[in-house]
Chain A
Amino acid sequence: MNRWLDLIERIDLSRLVTGLQVVVIAVLGLVFVRGLARLVTRIFAKRLTRQGLLIIEKGVLYAGYLLILITILNQLGFQLATVLGAAGIAAVAIGFSAQTSLSNLISGLFLIGEEPFQVGDLITVGEHTGLVESIDLLSVKLRPFDNRYIRIPNETLIKTPVVNVTHFPIRRIDLSIGVAYKEDLRQVMQLLLEVADRNPWCLDEPVPIIIFDGFGDSALEMKLGVWVSKTDVLALRNSLLVEIKEAFDREGIEIPFPHRTLYTGEATAPFPIRIVSDSSDPGAAPPSPEAGA
């Protein structure tokens, strides 16, 4: 009993009360701020985009955390002016030592303000293509199609060209197609337009276009440009290529491919070739195994 009384005597009750107040402020403050952020998000859910909601949620959270910190410091007896002065000096020091982070932070603010893409968009940055998972103050998180996690610093996004693949609701897909020199180009073009017309994912308008690319090494090269809703790109690409191949096969239109001639050089003897049967004679016996070279 005496030991307990000694302990209580040694404890500074005012400090204990302050400590308890700080814990209560921190716990209740965090719960309140998170609840407030959730409430605000729910209120604006139907009016704002996902990115707008993300910005509002983070704005409420960061402002709330700052308020909690200031209240706790005030409770602990720190003078706010002194703290802010110290924070200014600290900011200069941090600014020198954390230039990259600050650059990312400021770039993040520009990105949020400019809105070149939103959460859920498909973007290409350098060699990375993926869906935007989140836009944070320091970095943007991408999820490529193979479900990896890519973090791109905001500074990089400001400095490098960013392609927003899904910015507009429809896209044009260009398919490169080559046909043999012997083919009738007008017939090929007409057939391609008919194939595009029958494909349900290919938009009727804007109308598909055919661009003649030129005389290639082994084919007459052209591009078929068809418009598609941004959600149907893969379905269109896969189905249209199959349908074009089927239509060409049906009409006997040849899709040529480069041929390679092997030359054995002067130092070696040429490949021996021996004709064993006339291929036009359906009744001819198949070549015997020893007939080959």
Chain B
Amino acid sequence: MEAWWTRLRFEPGQRREGDVGELTYAIERRSASWQFSFRRRGESRRPDRPQPSATRAAADEEEFELEFRPALPDRPVVVRLETPYVILPRRDLLFYISMPLWLEVVTPTDGKALASEPTIQLSNTWFGPPNQGRLAYALRIPARSRHEDLPAEPTRAGFPVRLRNASEQTLVLERLCLDPGPLSLFQGETRIWTSNLGIVYRGPDATTRLAYGTRIPVPDGPGPVLREPRAPRPSRLITRTYEAARALDILGP
């Protein structure tokens, strides 16, 4: 796997261009600032889309290095399973989600993000009824039961989720809404991984318990941490289910 998360050194006035997945970036070190512009392939000359506008960030006099870092989506994601799964009481289901990554440009000295752009264009979706619910990104690749079936792209991370049906009722699961905020990113041998998530479903009216892991849960080599979580790990979350318990929102109301 080719690592695109790297540190770049700029000379005064130097401009660098490159691609990370579908994203093309151009970064220039100006006299007292950094200038960034991003566009996705095939979108640059569309009249209906906003043209890539440059953003600038003030730079220290001695600051000539930037670091590329992968990050997870800044909003919840909705993922479908390949087919609706019937999970009997006291049974587990392990599945893997392909999470698109963001390119974060940070200053190496203090790790502050100067720019953050998705490497893959994601579509918006809504989770829940039209009058209540949440805005999320739709993941087009359904969750798989084998991680080998996920696309091995450097701009995607494997996200292992184990769901236990601890209720007394059969759970028919079609899709989930998940918050990637509390997940870490690790470098594996074959792909980037997120930390794992355990979900204990205890019924439509009961609190669902979540357990966010802190390590790579698959035998993919002990990799270094690429990114700490965006958000702190929640201690307690409320479950909402929609459509007769077919859609599970583990983020709470």
Residues on A facing B (Cβ under 8 Å)? 168-170, 197, 199-206, 227-229, 232, 238-239, 241-243
Contacts and interface: CB of A to CB of B under 8 A. Distances in A.
B53 interface: no
Given A227-B130, A242-B47, A242-B48, A169 B124 contact: no
Contact of B124 (A232, A238, A241): A232
A236 B49 CA distance: 10
Contacts of B121: 200
Contacts of B130: 168, 170, 206, 227
24 contacts: A169-B135, A170-B126, A170-B133, A197-B123, A199-B123, A200-B121, A200-B124, A202-B124, A203-B124, A203-B125, A203-B126, A204-B78, A204-B138, A205-B78, A227-B126, A229-B126, A232-B124, A238-B48, A239-B46, A239-B49, A241-B48, A242-B46, A242-B47, A242-B48
B109 interface: no
A68 B127 CA distance: 52
Interface string B46-79: 1111000000000000000000000000000010
Given A205-B138, A242-B47, A243-B48, A169 B123 contact: no
Given A169-B135, A170-B126, A197-B123, 20 more contacts: A170-B133, A199-B123, A200-B122, A200-B123, A202-B124, A203-B123, A203-B125, A203-B138, A204-B123, A204-B124, A204-B138, A205-B78, A206-B130, A227-B130, A228-B124, A229-B126, A238-B48, A239-B46, A242-B46, A243-B48
Contact of B126 (A201, A205, A238, A242): A205
Contacts, number: 51
Contacts of B78: 204-205
Interface string B19-56: 00000000000000000000000000011110000000
A36 to B, nearest CB: 34
Given A168-B131, A238-B48, A242-B47, A206 B126 contact: yes
A205 B127 contact: yes
A202 B135 contact: no
A232 B125 CA distance: 12
Nearest to B125: A204
Contacts of B133: 169-170
A205 to B, nearest CB: 5
Contacts of A203: 123-126, 138
A228 B138 CA distance: 13
A-B pairs, top 8 by smallest CB distance, nearest first, are A242-B48, A204-B125, A204-B138, A239-B48, A203-B126, A200-B123, A205-B125, A203-B125
B49 to A, nearest CB: 6
A202 B123 contact: yes
Nearest to B138: A204
Nearest to A167: B131
B124 to A, nearest CB: 5
B74 to A, nearest CB: 15
B47, B49, B123, B131: most-surrounded residue (chain A CB, <10 A): B123
A243 B49 CA distance: 10
A243 B46 CA distance: 10
Interface string B99-132: 0000000000000000000000111111100110
B163 to A, nearest CB: 21
A238 B46 CA distance: 12
A204 B127 CA distance: 10
A192 to B, nearest CB: 16
A164 B27 CA distance: 43
A229 B124 contact: yes
Interface string B77-97: 010000000000000000000
Nearest to A231: B135
Contacts of A202: 123-124
Contacts of B135: 169-170, 229
Contacts of A201: 124
A198 B138 CA distance: 12
Contacts of A228: 124
A197, A202, A205, A239: most-surrounded residue (chain B CB, <10 A): A205
Nearest to A205: B125
Contacts of B46: 239, 242
A150 B120 CA distance: 43
Nearest to A227: B126
Contacts of A197: 123
Contacts of A242: 46-48
B248 to A, nearest CB: 14
A242 B49 CA distance: 10
A243 B133 CA distance: 28
Nearest to A196: B123
Contacts of A170: 126, 130, 133, 135
A126 B138 CA distance: 38
A206 B123 CA distance: 13
A116 B126 CA distance: 24
